[in-house]
Chains A and B, each alone.
Chain A
Amino acid sequence: MDRRHFLRSLAATGAAAGATATAGCAGVIGDTGLLGDDGTVLGPPEQTRGDPVHPIHGDEMPEFSVPDPISGEEISTAQFEGERAFLWTSFYTSCPDGVCPALILRLRRAQEVAAEQGFGDEAAFLPLTFDPERDTAEVLREYAARRGVDLDAGNWHFLRPESYEAGKELMMENFGLKIEKYPDENDQYENLEYTFPHYGLILLVNKRGIVERAYPRGPATDVERIVGDFRRVVTA
């Protein structure tokens, strides 16, 4: 924890002190000093992105802890600092319109490339379900298996909030994303009582806990772009 606060204050240090702060940090983490003054590997995104509530570039990843129901561990977004860069997204397994499979495909492909290129131990993948009532450990395990996710790699953690309300609050507080149950009144989807229209956000967070990229339309973003950005950040 101290470390995180230390890093935070470094990250918050202004441009004048930036060089020193970066050097100090490089010493702490043992990275190669390729980071910019704002603690990122990648430069700012080309597109301006308005002023959303969630972090975009150079901001800290919000810190929160959520259980991984498969491993039984409590996973904190801060625990990877100094060790792993990660991709975070939110989804639910019953997602009927294909947005969630597209999000998961992007994380899964990044996991595959990390394994192939030997940086799996410096990477983590954190998809958070906001439908804990239906997404039990068993459902998540089956979902992962059918989509080619490697749970044995030790770098993939489904995050399952204790309750729907807890997940909803987490999403609003940390990302300004409103999650709402949308009753399937017209029986549009077979066997689905409710759906969650949601924003297909993927975040790329570096080893210092700083957000490098926020892909707002994750399902439509080039898979290879996300994977390439992730590789650059992990291996920087």
Chain B
Amino acid sequence: MRRRHLLAGLASVGVLGGAGAVATGGVPNALGGEEAPEPIEPVTLDTVDAPGSRDGEVTIPAPDRPTFVDFFGTWCPPCAEQMPALAAAHDRIGDEVLFVSVTTEPVGGAVSEETIVDWWTKHGGDWLVAADVTAVLAARLNVGKYPSARAIDASGRVRWATSGTHTAEEFVEGIRRAIDR
């Protein structure tokens, strides 16, 4: 782990010496701070017919309750690694929020829906999964590294923004920040 952090630090510090805000496992980035963030304008995405999910649509952030979004890609090994932690967090707190995983892959285009379903099934996904094929939601939520997660309160404001893998406990804590608002 130490090495990984070193590398991430190098990548973000770079030649000019930038802030370490994008370090892996990172704490809230630009979205941190005390000032109240602006609400995120909702986006409607197609959902994928997979275990725990269904073929349809989902609006993110949800208009009437907190939302938790995990951004993943089937090409992303750490995204697969953290699926058990996400599953545990979903078991504990999934009823209190809209809990959804979102891929920015071109599902239905160059990446088949079957690819997503196979990955999802293999890694124990059992909740809503949606496709952000134009990356519009990823842009609104300013996704950096993968995986990335956002916990958004019922008024559409981001209360927890993170990237890198996390434990179930960390996910639950992060999600609570959006629920407790």
A interface, CB within 8 angstroms of B = 49-50, 52-53, 96-99, 101-102, 105, 108-109, 112, 116, 145-148, 176-178, 182, 186, 188, 190, 195, 197-201, 216-217, 219-220, 222-224, 227
Which residue, of B16, B22, B106, B163, has the highest number of chain A Cβ atoms within 10 A?
Answer: B16
A222 to B8, CA, bound (A): 19
Task: Check B135–A112 contact: CB distance below 8 A.
Answer: yes
Chain B contact-residue range equals 35 or more
- Please judge, given known A-B contacts A98-B24, A148-B106, whether A176 and B146 are in contact too, CB under 8 Å: no
- The chain B residue sitting closest to A224, CB to CB, is B139
A220 to B75, CA, bound (A): 20
Q: Verify if B153 is at the interface (C-beta below 8 Å from A).
A: no
Q: Verify if B51 is at the interface (C-beta below 8 Å from A).
A: no
Task: Check A223–B143 contact: CB distance below 8 A.
Answer: yes
Task: Check A146–B14 contact: CB distance below 8 A.
Answer: no
Q: Verify if B56 is at the interface (C-beta below 8 Å from A).
A: no
Task: Check B75–A105 contact: CB distance below 8 A.
Answer: no
B interface, CB within 8 angstroms of A = 3-4, 7-8, 10-12, 14-16, 18-19, 21-22, 24, 29-30, 73-78, 104-106, 109-111, 133-136, 138-140, 142-146, 163-164
Task: Check A219–B142 contact: CB distance below 8 A.
Answer: no
Q: Give the number of residue pairs across the A-B interface with Cβ within 8 Å.
A: 127
A189 to B43, CA, bound (A): 35
**Chain A contacts for B135, CB-based, 8 A:** 105, 108-109, 112, 148, 223
**Chain B contacts for A52, CB-based, 8 A:** 15-16
Task: Check B4–A223 contact: CB distance below 8 A.
Answer: no
**Chain A contacts for B21, CB-based, 8 A:** 217, 220
Other-chain residue from A176, A178, A219, A223 in contact with B138 (beta carbon distance below 8 A): A223
- The chain B residue sitting closest to A198, CB to CB, is B11
| The 4 A-B residue pairs with the shortest CB-CB distance in the complex, in nearest-first order | A98-B145, A199-B14, A145-B110, A197-B10
Distance to closest chain B CB from A79 (angstroms): 27
Given contacts A99-B11, A102-B146, 20 further A-B contacts (CB under 8 A): A97-B8, A99-B8, A101-B76, A102-B144, A105-B104, A146-B105, A147-B73, A147-B104, A177-B14, A188-B7, A197-B7, A199-B14, A201-B14, A216-B16, A217-B12, A217-B19, A219-B22, A219-B144, A223-B135, A227-B139
